[in-house]
Amino acid sequence: MSEEAQQQNQVTPQQNQVTPQQNDVHQIRDAIYIGKKPLMAYVTSTLIQLANQPTVTIKARGLSIGRAVDVSQIILKRMENAGYTIGDVKIGSETVQSEDGRTRNVSTIEIVIKRS
């Protein structure tokens, strides 16, 4: 290899530095999306978020709405000494296109849990 090729392949320390703009990608999330994982996984995630933030929003749609309600109730009932309360509860629907091309309405819920 020629000297020019070796110099082009070398990485200078300035190229490895992370600028503050690139590091801003790691933002704090305040929403827990309920899916098909075990129920206690979402309870644990919500409690971890509540330890760092004053409010967390539990979001679900379709058949996961019941699980979202279960998560919020487990946090309230089992952790009643910790002082968590339910804030706003928003219900709605979204229009989603199914795999066969038809549009369907899917129910949604957002439950805000606050640390007091």
Write down the residue that tokens 């929003």 correspond to: 57
Query: How does DSSP classify residue 37?
Result: S
Residue 42 has φ and ψ, to the nearest 5°, of: -75, -35
Summarize pLDDT for 3-30 with one digit per residue, the tens. Answer: 554 444 444 444 444 444 444 444 556 8
| pTM for the full predicted model | 0.72
The domains of the chain are located at 27-115
For the chain, which residues score pLDDT lower than 70?
A: 1-29
Query: Which architecture characterizes domain 27-115 according to CATH?
Result: 2-Layer Sandwich (3.30)
The per-residue pLDDT for 28 is 59
